[in-house]
Structure 1
C-alpha cells in the first residue's frame, strides 16, 4: 500500500492522475480524503466545509461523480402550501427550494398564498417526450433524400431496434427529419416514463442507427447533432416541447390582487405586456417570462435533477388578462426535462426533498411536473405583483440582497 504522503507528492509532481488514487487505497473514503488534501496543498486553501456531508459517496461514484473531494451545501427553504388542482397533483404541497438568493423563497411563498386564496392553480401536462437527433452525412443531396425517405418508410423497424435496448422507453416518432445539403438530421422522439431518459434515448437511438447504417450505408457523423436540442435554449424545443410540457393557470379575484399583491390586475397586465412580451421581443429573448429559471433552478438543485437542463426549463411564456375585473394569470413551460427515478434523484438529500412532495420513485413524475409548474406560477405571479407595485428593490434590500 502506497503512503498518503507519497501519493500526494506524486499528484503534485504530475506523476499520478486523480482517477488513479483508488488503485493505491483501501476504500473510496480514503481516496476522497487524499484527493481533497491534494487540492488543499495545491491551492493553499482549507477545504474544511467541503468535507462535511452525509451523502454515500461510494454509491454516488457509481453513477453521479468522478474524482470527488466532498460536497457543496446550498440552503434549502420550504414554500407553501401550494394548492394544485391537477390531474396528477391534487391538494396542497410544500416545495423545497435550494437557493442562495435572498427573497426567492419568500416571494414564492407569497405567490402560494395568493394561489391558495384564489382556489388553487389548475395545472395540465400537454406534452411528454425526450429526444435525440443524430447527424448523418450522405454522398449527395439525392442520397440524403433517399435516407430521409427510408427512415419514413421503415419507422416500425427502427422502433423495434430502439426499444430492444430499454424496458421503459418507447419510440413514438422520428420527426422532423431535416436535410441540409448532404446532412440529414432525424429527431428521434421517445417517451421515457419516470426517468428523464437522456441516457436511455441515446442508447436506443444508437441501436436504431446501427440498423439504419446496415440497411442504407449511411455514415453517422455524430450521435447528437444538436437538433435534439439538449441543454441549450431552442426555438424548436419552445414549439415542439421536450421533457414535460406543462401549463399552470389561476384566476385571482381583484380584491386578493389588491390585498396580497398590493396592486391591480390592470397594472400586472401592463407590466406583463411591456416586460415579458415586448421587452423579451426587442432583446431577442427565448423566454417570454420574468424569472422561470429561479424556480426551476431551485427545485432542480433540491431534487437532484440535471442542472444543465435549467436552461431549457427557463423557456416559456407568461400570459395575463383582465377577466370581469379579476386577474387571469398563466405560465407555459414547454421544455422541462425531469425525473423521479435515476440520475441525481438517487442522492440521499435529493430523495428526501422529493419525498417532501411525495414524488419520489416510480409513477410520480406527472405529479412532480404539475407541482413544479405550480411553483413557477407562484414565483412568477409574486414577482410580477412586486414589479407592478414597485416593491422589488425593497424586498431584496430587506431580505439580504441589498
Structure 2
C-alpha cells in the first residue's frame, strides 16, 4: 500500500542539474514547447519538475502548495492530463455493495461533496434489497459538437450536404481519427440554424464493452 505524500513532498525541488536549468530557460524562451518535455528529457517526473519551474518563472507565481512527488506521471503520459505540473489529493470513500447483473461491486468515489457517498450507498442498499439491477447498453460513444458560422446559409448547406453524404464518411473518418490515439469516428449529425452549421461527431473511445 502506497504511503501518503509527506510534507517534504510538497516542497518544490530545485532543478537538479545545469542541464535541467538550461532546459528550463529554453522553455521560458519558447524554444522548447512545454508539451514536448516528456519526449525531450525521457523522464516524466523530471519533465514535470522542469515544466513547473518554467511556469513559476513565466508567471512569477509559486506552486509550492501543489504536490509533485508521490505520483506516477508515466501512467498518464498520452492517456490524460497533458502538460502536468503536479497533482491534487481528493478523499476517496466507498459505497456498496452494488448488486448489478448478478455481481457485487464495491464502488470507490473520489469527492469533496458532503453526503454524496452516503446517499449513493443508501441507493445501493435499496437496489440490493430489491434483488439487484440489470444493465443494458443502448449506445456507447463520445461526442464533440463544434459549430461553424458561414457567410451565408447556402454555404452552410453545402457543408451539410457533404457531411451527410455516405460516400464522404471514410474521408472524414480518416481525418478525424488522426486527432486521437483512441477515438474512432462512428458518425456525424448536422443541423442548420441560419448561417450556423451545428455538427455532432460521435466516436468510440478505445474502451471495448463486453
TM-score (norm 2): 0.61
Is the Cα–Cα contact under 8 Å of residues 32 and 67 in structure 1 kept in the other structure?
yes
1:333-386, Cα deviation, whole Å (9 max, x unpaired): xxxxxxxx4xxxxxxxxxxxxxxxxxxxx335xxxxxxxxxxxxxxxxxxxxxx
Q: Secondary structure at the match of 1:51?
A: coil
Q: 1:169 pairs with 180, 184, 189, which one?
A: 184
Partners in 1 of 2:183 and 2:61 — Cα distance? 46
Shift in alpha-carbon separation, 1:143–1:19, aligned structure 2, 3 A = closer
Is the Cα–Cα contact under 8 Å of residues 93 and 117 in structure 2 kept in the other structure?
yes
Partners in 2 of 1:142 and 1:39 — Cα distance? 46
Superposed, 1:3-402 pairs within 5 Å as 10=25, 15=29, 19=34, 22=37, 27-36=43-52, 42-43=60-61, 46-47=64-65, 50-55=67-72, 57-58=73-74, 60-85=76-101, 90-136=102-148, 140-145=152-157, 147-149=159-161, 151-152=163-164, 154=165, 156-164=166-174, 166=177, 169=184, 171-172=186-187, 174-175=188-189, 177-188=190-201, 190-192=202-204, 195=205, 341=207, 362-364=208-210
Shift of 1:151: 4.6
Partners in 2 of 1:3 and 1:105 — Cα distance? 47
Partners in 2 of 1:35 and 1:136 — Cα distance? 35
* Unmatched runs of 5 consecutive residues or more in structure 1: 198-340, 342-361, 365-402
Provide the aligned length of Structure 1 versus Structure 2. Answer: 184
Shift of 1:133: 4.2
Shift of 1:140: 3.8
* Unmatched runs of 5 consecutive residues or more in structure 2: 1-16
Partners in 2 of 1:141 and 1:34 — Cα distance? 49
Shift in alpha-carbon separation, 1:30–1:111, aligned structure 2, 3 A = same
1:260-301, Cα deviation, whole Å (9 max, x unpaired): xxxxxxxxxxxxxxxxxxxxxxxxxxxxxxxxxxxxxxxxxx
Shift of 1:78: 1.6
Partners in 1 of 2:153 and 2:55 — Cα distance? 53
1:293-325, Cα deviation, whole Å (9 max, x unpaired): xxxxxxxxxxxxxxxxxxxxxxxxxxxxxxxxx
Partners in 2 of 1:168 and 1:34 — Cα distance? 30
Partners in 2 of 1:127 and 1:21 — Cα distance? 36
Is the Cα–Cα contact under 8 Å of residues 77 and 96 in structure 1 kept in the other structure?
yes
Q: Secondary structure at the match of 1:83?
A: strand
Higher RCO (C-alpha under 8 Å, 6+ residues apart):
1
Partner of 1:237: none
Shift of 1:63: 4.4
Partner of 1:369: none
Partners in 2 of 1:34 and 1:147 — Cα distance? 44
Is the Cα–Cα contact under 8 Å of residues 7 and 21 in structure 1 kept in the other structure?
no
Shift in alpha-carbon separation, 1:83–1:4, aligned structure 2, 3 A = same
TM-score (norm 1): 0.36
